[in-house]
Amino acid sequence: MNETAPEPKPIERPKNEQVLRIPGHFFFIESVPLPEGVGPAEIASFAELSLESLSPFPVDQLNWGFLHRPGSARLLIFAAHAERLKKEGFAGLEDYAWVLPDFIGLALAECPENTELLFEGEDSLALLHLPKDGGTPGFLVCAPRSAEEAADFEPLRQGAPELPLYASTLRVRPSGIELSERGLPTFLHEAADATMADHGEFREWTAVRPREAELWDVDVRPVAFKKAERSGRRLSHWIARATGWAAVLALALLGAELLLFAGERWKEAREEEVAAQMPAVRRIEDQQSLTVKLEQVAQNELRPIDMLELANQVRLDLDANIEYDETVIEGRNRLTIEGKAGSVNELNSYMDSLRRSGNFRVVGEPKSSTRRGETIFTVTMEYLQREPTAPAVTPAGTDETESEELG
């Protein structure tokens, strides 16, 4: 015996995401002419004043709304007693996203020609006359419907005005409601018989998407509640948008932080590589520096030993109390000596001897200071290099005697 698994029950949306449709026969409906000079901002107040004059009950005891299409010269006002709706099970209206008459989806539709709409709701029937190219319905009447009986619109037609010439008749029923992310409903309809077979235009407006401002007008909850609810939804919408942008910004900042972290890690890795290569680089730099110095020695034909020997010979010939602490040989035959002298006079004698030797030229004035009977000095001089003298060459075949005689 094969057992079929039970079908899962559809998940019911919370009430704040639902549209509560109240059967149209609970409402009394009036079409009211709109006086000239009433602006768009004054229509709601005019509708409320008109309802006060039409209804035997105070407005605060009614659930009511009105429909006005742009450019139309009429209002459609509909109202139901709040206590009657509660007795019929329509309570907690403030919990729903929208509370609307079931005929409102078609009343907000637009058709390309004058049309008689026969609406088959679940619990009520409605007959509407829609003018061509949109507009407020010129006539709307509703009646209760029994589920066991076939839909009969003849009693509704008896009180209806004559249709204009070239009018169409369409028989439709609701097929569902879809809510957008902002909670705005789309009313879906389908054919209830074959009358729509020749009306291809209808397929363009089977899905009716009213504007938000129209929805607040046709919602039948109290005016004060609708104002507060509308402001709250706007605030929630902006908060949601701000939260979304904040989330995008947070993701962008997180991405930037990750990129920064990756960049820092790459930088650290590069610095580690550079640090690891620094010893080899220093060795190469030292080698290059030594090579340059050797090239300078080779190019300038420096004779550091000769320079030191000659400078030291001057010191020895002077027989003065002169000591060398440090000698530095630089490019272009320059020699710097740092040392100590017994006195300033001995230092001056040493400098004079260097000048008279003909081998050195003192650069600038020597620096000296005397402390505790001892003179510390620094002198820089240039070695005056001379070319070696070539020995005299005696012609071959000439002896010394002949040379003397010739002399």
For residue 335, CA distances in Å to 136, 165, 299, 361, 382 come to: 112, 124, 17, 10, 6
Residue 295 confidence (pLDDT): 67
Residue 321 confidence (pLDDT): 81
Instruction: Confirm if 139 and 127 have CB atoms less than 8 A apart.
Output: yes
Residue 23 confidence (pLDDT): 95
Burial class (CB in 10 A: 0-12, 13-18, 19+), 145: buried
Average pLDDT over residues 136-159: 85
Angle between helices 344-356 and 304-318 (to 10 degrees): 130
Query: In 3-state terms, what secondary structure has residue 211?
Result: coil
Strand partners, 340: 323, 376
Residue 300 confidence (pLDDT): 52
Tell me the per-residue pLDDT of 157-173, one tens digit each, with 9 for 90 and over. Answer: 888 888 777 788 888 88
Tell me the per-residue pLDDT of 290-342, one tens digit each, with 9 for 90 and over. Answer: 777 666 555 555 467 777 788 778 888 877 788 888 888 876 688 888 888 88
Strands 334-341 and 374-383, by their bridges, are antiparallel
Whole-angstrom distance, CA of residue 358 vs CA of residue 361: 8
Residue 1 confidence (pLDDT): 46
pLDDT at 70 over 90: no
pLDDT at 119 over 50: yes
Whole-angstrom distance, CA of residue 129 vs CA of residue 102: 16
Whole-angstrom distance, CA of residue 302 vs CA of residue 26: 121
Whole-angstrom distance, CA of residue 146 vs CA of residue 122: 9
CA 308 to chain centre: 75
pTM, rounded to two decimals: 0.59
pLDDT at 253 over 60: yes
Rank 38-52, 146-160, 196-210 by mean pLDDT and report only the highest: 38-52
pLDDT at 143 over 60: yes
Average pLDDT over residues 72-89: 94
pLDDT at 401 over 50: no
Cα-only R_g, the chain: 56
Residue 50 confidence (pLDDT): 94
Average pLDDT over residues 351-373: 82
Whole-angstrom distance, CA of residue 361 vs CA of residue 355: 6
pLDDT at 16 over 90: no
Give the burial string for 374-393 (b: 16+ CB within 10 Å, else e): ebebebbbbbeeeeeeeeee
pLDDT at 138 over 80: yes
Helices of type H across 104-222: 104-107, 154-158, 212-218
Tell me the per-residue pLDDT of 182-219, one tens digit each, with 9 for 90 and over. Answer: 889 999 988 877 666 555 555 555 788 899 999 999 99
Nearest to 312 by CA among 389, 374, 383, 254: 383
The mean predicted confidence, pLDDT, of the chain is 82
Percentage of residues of the chain with pLDDT beyond 70 = 86
In this prediction, residue 402 has a pLDDT band, given cuts at 50, 70 and 90, of very low
